[in-house]
A and B are shown apart, each in its own frame.
Chain A
Amino acid sequence: NAGVTQTPKFQVLKTGQSMTLQCAQDMNHNSMYWYRQDPGMGLRLIYYSASEGTTDKGEVPNGYNVSRLNKREFSLRLESAAPSQTSVYFCASSESPTGVPGKLFFGSGTQLSVL
């Protein structure tokens, strides 16, 4: 049972480059989330999706776009990467609806460096 799978594990970009972080879950969860984790800032919500076809902004959405391709997959795109986007990115899913305190299942993260 894979749970939440994120790819890639590591990525180095130059300023201005674009990339997409992939996330897939095999638990049939409706709710999916993208977080970034930075020293001294903790986990911050970028975007979330309550169900297939819907997405909403979190605390720090600027510079990012998301796509909920289907129930399993939720991708995060950086159109023009900036050094401030250097971070560890986590995808998470939950069987609980968004806005309800359910158990979050996290992927193992993507460590992104923007030079």
Chain B
Amino acid sequence: TQLLEQSPQFLSIQEGENLTVYCNSSSVFSSLQWYRQEPGEGPVLLVTVVTGGEVKKLKRLTFQFGDARKDSSLHITAAQPGDTGLYLCAGFNAGNNRKLIWGLGTSLAVNP
């Protein structure tokens, strides 16, 4: 069974701090997506990474896909209260089952 483990599970920081959250697996994925979910809403796609070692930036957010395509990280610089939410990673298995595997998420609270 493929699993995606996200850490930390919860994170509470002050505005202006930097943070990194992780998404790890023992399995190889052909691509990996990061979504942000705000309370009472559905997840919204932030980025898709497909190449091992790939780095993508979205304003203050930096996403990295591990060289072996088994893990990914999300780094936020100078966090703002608007970054508060649940960050979900989802890995795609292009093998026989062609399934999207979801992590449980990191719940981030950025306090003013």
Contacts and interface: CB of A to CB of B under 8 A. Distances in A.
A35 B92 CA distance: 16
Contacts, number: 47
A42 B45 contact: no
A63 B10 CA distance: 32
A99 interface: yes
Chain A at the B interface: mostly helix, strand, loop or mixed?
Answer: loop
B33 A106 contact: no
Contacts of A107: 42
A101 B40 contact: no
Interface in A72-101: 90, 92, 98-101
B94 to A, nearest CB: 8
Query: Which of A43, A44, A107, A108: most chain B Cβ within 10 A?
Result: A43
Contact of A99 (B33, B50, B98): B98
Q: Which of B31, B40, B88, B100 has the most CB of A within 10 A?
A: B100
A40 interface: yes
Interface in B73-112: 88, 90, 92, 94, 98-100, 102-105
A49 B35 CA distance: 22
Contacts of B88: 42-43
A98 B94 CA distance: 11
Contact of A101 (B30, B35, B42, B43): B30
A32 interface: no
A104 interface: yes
A101 B103 contact: no
Given A104-B35, A108-B40, A109-B42, 6 more contacts: A42-B88, A43-B102, A44-B102, A100-B98, A103-B48, A108-B42
